[in-house]
Each structure stands twice: as C-alpha cells, then as structure tokens.
Amino acid sequence: MSYIFEALQRAEIERSGGSLPTNVDSVVDLLPGVEQEIARKQAISELPPPKVESPEAETFANAKVISPVLAADSRLVCLTDQGGLPAEKFRVLGLKLRHLREQRKLKRIVVTGTAPEEGKSLVAANLALSQSRSRVLKTLLVDGDLRRPTVVSRFGFDPSLPGLSECLRGERQISEAVRKLDGTGLWILPAGRALENPLELMQSGRLPELLDRLGKFFDWIIIDTPPVVPVADTAFWMKLADGVLLVIREGVSEKKVVARALDSFDRATLLGIVVNSCSRSEHNDYYSRYGQAKVGAGEAFRSAENE
C-alpha cells in the first residue's frame, strides 16, 4: 500500500479512534467522505463570504481566459484523465494538505526538488489542477522559476507571455499577468521573461507585496520553484511560503543531495516528500488491479509530522 494512502488512513483513524483497516478498497471508499467532511468544515469556519471584496479581486475574477494546447506527453493527468488512478494520487495528496490546513496556516506552498528531471513542475501543475476542482477554494499556480520557466510550455502557452518577472520590474500590474485556464477553476501566473540572475530582483521588496495581494483573492497559491540545490532562489521563496513540498525521483535523486537539501530546510515549513516514479514492490499488487504496471508521479507523500 502506498504511503500516501497510508497517511490518509492514519489521519482518519486518529480522528475515529479505530484500528488500521487492511482492505485496500476501504481506503479508496474513504476518499469521498473525507473530501466532503473537509469541504463542510472549511465552508463553516474558513471561507470568506462568496463575493467580490475589492476592485482588484474583481480583476482576478475576470482575468483573461486562455485555452491550453496540450502535447500528447504533457502528463497533466488532473486535466486530461480526472477519473484515472494517477489523478487520484494527486487528489489524495491535496486531501492531505487540506487536513494540514485545518491545523495550521497553509496557503502558499512551494514545490521544489533537488535536481533537474525529478518532476517537480509536473507535480506542482497537477496538484494545482487537482486543488482547483474545489467549488469554493480558488487556486493559483505560480511559475516561480525565473531562470528556466516551464509552466507556460507545459500548458502549451506562448513562452513570451508576460508574468512575474515583468511585475517585479514594475512593467506590468499583477492583475494583468494572471490568466484563467479555460474550462477549469485554475488561475496561472507565468514566470515571464527568463532572467539570468533573478535573486536581486526577487529581493527588491516587491515580491512579498505581490504575494500579499494575491493572497487576498486566492485560497491556494502553488509555487513551482527551481531545485533547492544549488541556486539560492528557492531559499528566498521558502521564507515567504507557509509550507514546502520536496519532490524526489527514484533513480534520479541522489541520497547525499537529498540529505543536503533537507538540512537546508526549516523543518517547521517542510510539509513532506513526494516520491516520483516509485516502483517499490509492495505497491505492485495494488496498482496491477487497475491495469497499471508502472507507478507514476505523486506516488508517496510522507508528512513531516510523521517523520
């Protein structure tokens, strides 16, 4: 059984005082009830009145709509195959984050990795798409990698779209740069023009102000950042975040580099680790029931509170 389902089970058991069920089907059946319960609690205690509160909020609500042009290998399963098992993994990851949100402030989430090709941008995009399915919580995906932005190309948009870098330079208003993804509940803030050394621009003082303005409208802000090693950009992003998800990939991430990355984290902000392309043998029987031999992105989520 995957760690992600196990974590969800454990959370439900702690609430009910029961024992750990051994039937995998009981975990799958658990999801709709958990989702409904979280939505009910948030509707009662967390959500602001469902109305536009300011001219700026109205601008975000009426942001320019753009349509994705997905490549065959985009792997945005939470958009192209919402009922499939890979999308369900991201759905459970989102549920776990919503559980944590009940216990602590959790709005700005940095998704990072330790090296290229680990799938952090894929995880960030699918997680944002999954969270955007909520009818009451508004989700924004931010491309925070100002060196090598990939979010725009993953959705098939024009790479020249202005975005965060232009806003930080004062060339665009943040309300002009945010786009709404057609047919979804997701908004996207592109990175804009790639920069060779964005850290100085990020430290200019504009970034915290922009995030505060975005936070007045959006309930989830998912930020895709560069790998935490070796550039310093992500360390700055983490100072502004409520939580951090570290993405590692089996066969790609090196143990020493992962350990170094973890040592650089403030453990209070580390939400957990997402293991991409996990192929551990104990998962094979479960996933083969769905006709899928290879486990894909988002397989494991280990909460920092359980480490």
Phi, psi (deg, nearest 5) at residue 180: -105, 130
Take residue 52 and report the two structure tokens written for it: 């536009």
Please tell me the total count of domains within the chain. 1
Phi, psi (deg, nearest 5) at residue 137: -105, 125
Q: Which residues contact 25 (CB under 8 A, 6 or more apart)?
A: none
Rounded to whole angstroms, how far apart are CA atoms 80 and 76?
6
Rounded to whole angstroms, how far apart are CA atoms 101 and 5?
18
pLDDT in tens, 48-57: 444 444 555 5
Closest listed residue to residue 69, CA positions, set 158, 150, 143, 179: 158
At 302, the pLDDT band (50, 70, 90 cuts) reads very low
CA 149 distance to own-chain centroid: 16
- Calculate mean pLDDT across residues 109-134: 92
pLDDT in tens, 206-236: 999 999 999 999 999 999 999 987 778 899 9
DSSP designation for 179:
E
Q: Are 172 and 190 in contact (CB under 8 A)?
A: no
Closest listed residue to residue 225, CA positions, set 208, 207, 195, 246: 246
Take residue 291 and report the two structure tokens written for it: 């006709």
Q: What angle do CA 34, 38, 41 make, to 5 degrees?
A: 140
Residue type, 238: M
Residue 11 reports pLDDT greater than 60: no
The CA-atom distances, in angstroms, between 208 and each of 57, 79, 93, 204 are 18, 30, 27, 9
Residue 120 reports pLDDT greater than 90: yes
Residue type, 219: D
The strand pairing partners of 224, in sequence order, are: 111, 143
Q: What CATH number corresponds to the domain at position 67?
A: 3.40.50.300
Question: Considering the chain, what percentage of its residues have pLDDT values greater than 70?
Answer: 71
Residue with tokens 């993994």: 89
The CA-atom distances, in angstroms, between 20 and each of 5, 17, 95 are 12, 10, 19
How many CB atoms neighbour CB 205 within 10 A?
Answer: 8
Residue with tokens 């089907």: 25
DSSP designation for 132:
T
Closest listed residue to residue 11, CA positions, set 98, 110, 128, 85: 98
Q: Are 238 and 269 in contact (CB under 8 A)?
A: yes
Q: What is the domain extent for residue 15?
A: 3-306
- Calculate mean pLDDT across residues 17-37: 50
Q: Pairing mode, if any, of strands 186-189 and 108-113?
A: unpaired
pLDDT in tens, 233-243: 899 999 999 99
Per-residue pLDDT, 30:
54
Per-residue pLDDT, 307:
33
